[in-house]
Amino acid sequence: MQIVHVSGFKKEYALNMINIMERICFDGDFVTEDDFINNYDRTYFLLDILNDIVGYYMWYPEEDYAYLYSFAIDKYYQGNGYSKTMLEYFLANSGYNRHCLHVRPDNNKAIQLYKNYGFIQTDTVDNFYEDGTSAIIMLKNEI
């Protein structure tokens, strides 16, 4: 398994792979081309031993923390520890001591993963997603 920056792929291919994965994993709120372009320098793919793309994450810097903007593992590969691998890589390589993210309240697996890595719920934002669902905001402070 390895995590690679999307620059190793043609931009059109990378965006297409993210769009395919999101449509498999999510019901809406997909990464737009502008999101991808604006966060290109901070977008990574997780590859398995056969170099298949099994997941991706995108983040951007805020004033004093790294914000995990989008994070997905292909449903076919879920349950194999890939989320842990990607999250650990993000936390270790963002260059920040504080990390923030948003998650749907019904995404219990993700919420538990984030809690296991020290994230705590700090807020809820109403009507965060396109379908009107709220989002849980979670924060992790490193010591």
| pLDDT tens digit sequence for 79-129 | 889 999 999 999 999 999 999 999 999 999 999 999 999 999 999 999 988
The confidence score (pLDDT) of residue 102 equals 95
- Contact (Cβ atoms closer than 8 angstroms) between residue 70 and residue 60: no
* Size (the chain), residues: 143
For the cut 90, the answer to whether the pLDDT of residue 134 exceeds it is: yes
Residues 36, 45: Cα–Cα separation, whole Å: 13
pLDDT of 25 strictly over 90 = no
Q: What is the pLDDT of residue 29?
A: 75
pLDDT surpasses 90 at 10:
no
- For the beta carbon of residue 93, count every other beta carbon within 10 angstroms: 12
The SS3 of residue 48 is coil
Average pLDDT, the chain: 87
Cβ density class 25-56: b for 16+ within 10 Å, e for less? eeeeeebeeebbeebeebbbbbbeeeeebbbb
Percent of the chain with pLDDT over 70: 98
pTM, to two decimals: 0.84
